[in-house]
Structure 1
């Protein structure tokens, strides 16, 4: 069995699950929060007394369980145990309690040299259009996870990692059609590494994000996409990623979303992103403390220009889906960088925020658990 969780090896389950929890299998099996049956939580009452509370989907304390299905970590108490069970399981058979990973996956890497702005726009346009077209639950490509990474290098390069469920007999044909759609009209043609077939575990362990020896200093700014970026937004991406002053480890990433994530009704969990097809990350990374101001400013200006039409942040509308609380960005609560007039919590929680506030008032009346983007009473 498995859970459709993330792959960054330095991340623990505490905040990951509470924020929703997303990974390479989420398009097939949903978020981790969609498999969260209960939580055991240490809460603190108005008198400062701590108590251990069990909250489950079926009760007791269903509201406290709900708050942990996307309400973010550090808001309601200290979780000491997560109880995981899929919605279609009654718990009687442990072997059927959670989904199974694919028996094997087809994997390859596709390397695109970025020579011109037009070629870059064509590539990203193809990529976003494909996943927008294939974002519905039970789509034939729900078993495809293919993150795209644009790196700040001297010549410019973009890498597409492909992980495709290899069980269906049509897998090879689907992979061929996908690569044809992504590379259509892109010049020069990419370098496609030899296709390999391996277990899902081996693919994650050996191919996708092996743990680095020393992690860099990082600033992340994220957003959900409900529609593909415009050509002008893609040109904005090109200009900032070709900035020679940030050559190094910084990356612009696109992570496919949708699929089974969008099969869950809005409001069934605290996670509001049930109608997006893609997650975007501006991942500024550097090594020396004296680079803090330069790289953080670069990320802020990039994000502000990308979302200039909505006050510098991805205000939820027909094109934007807000942002993911597991990439917390205090800039969204700073009027210097969020000029939209829309509060930060609208980007992270949408209409779910008022219910989270009521649960906060019940279970943490003294706001013992707080941080820069915590749910306010």
Structure 2
């Protein structure tokens, strides 16, 4: 029987009103659920919808990669900024109850924007841990409890407030959110002396898939193993880490010595590859490789800058260098003796007169369009290959490579001690980056094609079974999960690159603690029960 025009009009109005109400109802239902499940009153300002005038500034506040802030990239339906742990519990309970996909961030430095953007999960909401950022240092116990939203710079500063002879071996970029940073491992300039940040974690507080807060004893050793190096957002939401503080001398020494191609950069870098992992473990020398201008005509060249921290004074440093790496030609005037906290500022790239309080600002010095990749090197790259590398770097506008040395404590920790596996046998790690300042598709394609070509060129000089990668330098080129039905064979393609032989154990942990795959993203660990 045909519908009357009035009936059709009524039906259309019902359908239209339902479609108009959908976005608001998700937010309204979530807020009501939060009120029902949190121990505290949720302020209106804690929930920021896309229609709110503050939405863009909140979303952009810690997001580092502008590629994922483009209008075409799906954004969270709304952002919830919890003020306490109970709010985080309630958010998990409510997202699960209402069937809403949840993403969360502590610092926003994830290279592929997985904490604040999604190409495969829409709609979704974001949990921003920026207000959970306290650091409580216990000097008597040489430990600190640090909430997930604190930046690593804040942590360093709070330690230095209490002691001039204690530090923590984690990241070089001071605006990293410590919650996600440690889940991937946490490289730093004291890694050769003390290992990674994740190697120096004693306890943690997380919210599990049921909205319960677990510490190390409650979660069990397998779960605790997985969150240290197994990558962020697969096993729960990190609320806080209990970290072990490490001794540092009152006087440390830093230096940066640049060498251009015209100054014999290839030969010196080849020598660095042979000695960097064998140097005194108090000495960390990374190499920052960029294209610069040189000479009166300002011609482009490649500069290799040897950027170092030595846990000791300049006299002992010069003894070590003269014995082990004289080719660099380090002199006394190159050496800057300083305190450990000021060395943090130096390594992070702050101007020389910057006070340590700048670390409390938590602002990134690096925010643009970029793409990154990584490799782990086990044999020195020949000089002839370096010459080919320089040619490729000179073809790009703003290329960057950072070579981080291994050896020392990194070679003495088992690959299975925590989920982070890249240990003995590695000479150094390479980070490749290209950045640009225009968001057009042509610009993006140009620079993405360049870095992929460079990565292909380097394949001949790195191990390939697997060709390993660092999970904190997320690279979606390695493969991604399907929306909700990723097979283990599909995930193993990228998973073994990040985690090598630890991938299967991570899957077992995931299958136990989150069998329904609530905590998921494009490269999260899948449970074994999900097979395609």
Q: TM-score when scaled to structure 1?
A: 0.80
Rounded Cα–Cα distance in structure 2 between residues aligned with 1:214 and 1:3: 23
Secondary structure at the counterpart of residue 343 of structure 1: helix
For residues 27-64 of structure 1, give each alpha carbon's deviation from its aligned partner in whole angstroms, at most 9, with x where no partner exists: 101111111122211111xxxx32222224xx751111
Residues 41 and 80, structure 1, Cα contact 8 Å, conserved in 2: yes
Deviation of residue 326 (structure 1)?
0.6
Indicate the residue corresponding to 2:276 in structure 1. 131
Q: How many residues align?
A: 330
Indicate the residue corresponding to 1:337 in structure 2. none
Indicate the residue corresponding to 1:272 in structure 2. 421
Residues 370 and 435, structure 2, Cα contact 8 Å, conserved in 1: yes
Rounded Cα–Cα distance in structure 2 between residues aligned with 1:147 and 1:216: 23
2:368 to 216, 228, 251: 216
1:83 to 242, 262, 269: 242
Rounded Cα–Cα distance in structure 1 between residues aligned with 2:477 and 2:249: 39
Secondary structure at the counterpart of residue 308 of structure 2: strand
Indicate the residue corresponding to 1:104 in structure 2. 251
2:493 to 343, 348, 360: 343
Rounded Cα–Cα distance in structure 2 between residues aligned with 1:280 and 1:351: 21
Indicate the residue corresponding to 1:254 in structure 2. 403
For residues 2-25 of structure 1, give each alpha carbon's deviation from its aligned partner in whole angstroms, at most 9, with x where no partner exists: 220012122111111111111001
Residues 276 and 405, structure 2, Cα contact 8 Å, conserved in 1: yes
1:194 equivalent to 2:346? Answer: no
Secondary structure at the counterpart of residue 115 of structure 1: helix
Secondary structure at the counterpart of residue 155 of structure 1: strand
Of 171-180 and 278-287, the range deviating more from structure 2: 171-180
Over alpha carbons, which structure has the higher Rg? 2
Residues 120 and 238, structure 1, Cα contact 8 Å, conserved in 2: no
For residues 261-320 of structure 1, give each alpha carbon's deviation from its aligned partner in whole angstroms, at most 9, with x where no partner exists: 22112212111111123110111111111222211111111001110477xxx5347xx6
User: Unaligned regions of 5+ residues in structure 2, if any?
Assistant: 1-165, 293-299, 351-362, 481-490, 528-532
Indicate the residue corresponding to 1:181 in structure 2. 327
Indicate the residue corresponding to 2:216 in structure 1. 55
Residues 236 and 306, structure 1, Cα contact 8 Å, conserved in 2: no
Rounded Cα–Cα distance in structure 2 between residues aligned with 1:191 and 1:284: 32
Rounded Cα–Cα distance in structure 1 between residues aligned with 2:465 and 2:497: 6
Rounded Cα–Cα distance in structure 2 between residues aligned with 1:34 and 1:279: 18
CA distance 1:207–1:168, shift in 2 (3 Å): closer
Q: Which has the higher helix share?
A: 2
2:179 to 1, 14, 21: 14
Of 251-260 and 224-233, the range deviating more from structure 2: 224-233
Rounded Cα–Cα distance in structure 1 between residues aligned with 2:198 and 2:495: 19
Within 5 Å, give how 1:249-328 maps onto structure 2: 250-275=399-424, 276-290=426-440, 291-308=443-460, 314-316=463-465, 322-328=468-474
Residues 174 and 348, structure 2, Cα contact 8 Å, conserved in 1: no
Deviation of residue 107 (structure 1)?
2.0
Rounded Cα–Cα distance in structure 1 between residues aligned with 2:460 and 2:317: 40
For residues 303-350 of structure 1, give each alpha carbon's deviation from its aligned partner in whole angstroms, at most 9, with x where no partner exists: 01110477xxx5347xx6x1111111111127xxxxxx9822111111
2:517 to 339, 353, 367: 367
CA distance 1:235–1:332, shift in 2 (3 Å): farther
Q: TM-score when scaled to structure 2?
A: 0.58
Indicate the residue corresponding to 1:69 in structure 2. 228
CA distance 1:287–1:192, shift in 2 (3 Å): farther
For residues 97-152 of structure 1, give each alpha carbon's deviation from its aligned partner in whole angstroms, at most 9, with x where no partner exists: x2122322222221212239xx44312211111114x0xxxxx6111111111112
Residues 253 and 313, structure 2, Cα contact 8 Å, conserved in 1: no
Residues 316 and 346, structure 1, Cα contact 8 Å, conserved in 2: no
CA distance 1:104–1:162, shift in 2 (3 Å): same
Residues 203 and 215, structure 2, Cα contact 8 Å, conserved in 1: yes
Rounded Cα–Cα distance in structure 2 between residues aligned with 1:234 and 1:66: 38
CA distance 1:35–1:309, shift in 2 (3 Å): closer
